[in-house]
Amino acid sequence: MSDQTPMTGTRRTAHLAVLLAVSLGLSVVERAIPMPVPFLRAGLANIVTVYAIITMGLADALVITLLRVVIASLVTGTFLGPTFALSMGGGLAATLAMGAARTAAPPLGVVGVSLIGALFHNLGQLVVVAALFAGAGPAVRLVPLATLMAAGAGLITGLIATLVIERLGHLGFDGAPGRQEGQA
């Protein structure tokens, strides 16, 4: 459930398109950053997913996640390959878990939602690794490292998402909390 009166029609479509473009841009930027371990990523595009969960709700966040993974994989030539499977598994697990965390009683805040998302993203990827590539043993051995990485990435992503939500709210952006549809 979002903190905002739902947008409808053209305004919602335009908002989703902008968020999708931003998430794709962040994905490209992140891929260009050299990392010491191939699978180690900060999850910059998840800033947009956290923003969407908080301000728009689960359904819109799922649309952004699904389209981001498909479009990014088509652009990078990884569609239906191992990278696509890992991205889709992690993205879906993270988005669904964040949606559940946001609607739990009491709902988690932005950083809490982000931490849950990062943890479930890594766990979702490990499920894909276990199911398609390496079996359960190697995947289970990676759980402590994946959890540690999720804590760092989730914290950073959550703090940035908090700043984005606050900043857009102060600017009176229609998708951000603090401004109801139709208010000046």
Helices (H), 56-109: 58-76, 82-103
Q: What is the pLDDT of residue 172?
A: 55
Residue 117 sits at φ, ψ, to 5 deg, of: -60, -45
**Would you say residue 182 has pLDDT above 80?**
no
- What's the mean pLDDT in 150-179? 76
Rounded Cα gap, residues 128 and 93, in angstroms? 11
**Would you say residue 174 has pLDDT above 60?**
no
The reported pTM is: 0.83
Band the pLDDT of 184: cuts 50, 70, 90: very low
Share of the chain above pLDDT 70, in %: 84
**Residue 96, domain member (yes or no):** yes
Band the pLDDT of 36: cuts 50, 70, 90: low
Q: Name the domain count of the chain.
A: 1
Q: What is the span of the domain harbouring residue 161?
A: 9-170
* 48 or 38: which leads in pLDDT: 48
Average pLDDT, the chain: 84
**Residue 183, domain member (yes or no):** no
**Residue 3, domain member (yes or no):** no
Q: What is the pLDDT of residue 42?
A: 75
**Residue 110, domain member (yes or no):** yes
**Residue 1, domain member (yes or no):** no
Band the pLDDT of 41: cuts 50, 70, 90: confident
Helices 9-32 and 58-76 cross at an angle (nearest 10°) of: 50
- What's the mean pLDDT in 115-136? 91
* 183 or 15: which leads in pLDDT: 15
**Residue 23, domain member (yes or no):** yes
**Residue 156, domain member (yes or no):** yes
Asked whether the beta carbons of 51 and 157 are under 8 A apart, the reply is: no
CATH classification of the domain holding 45: 1.10.1760.20
**Residue 19, domain member (yes or no):** yes
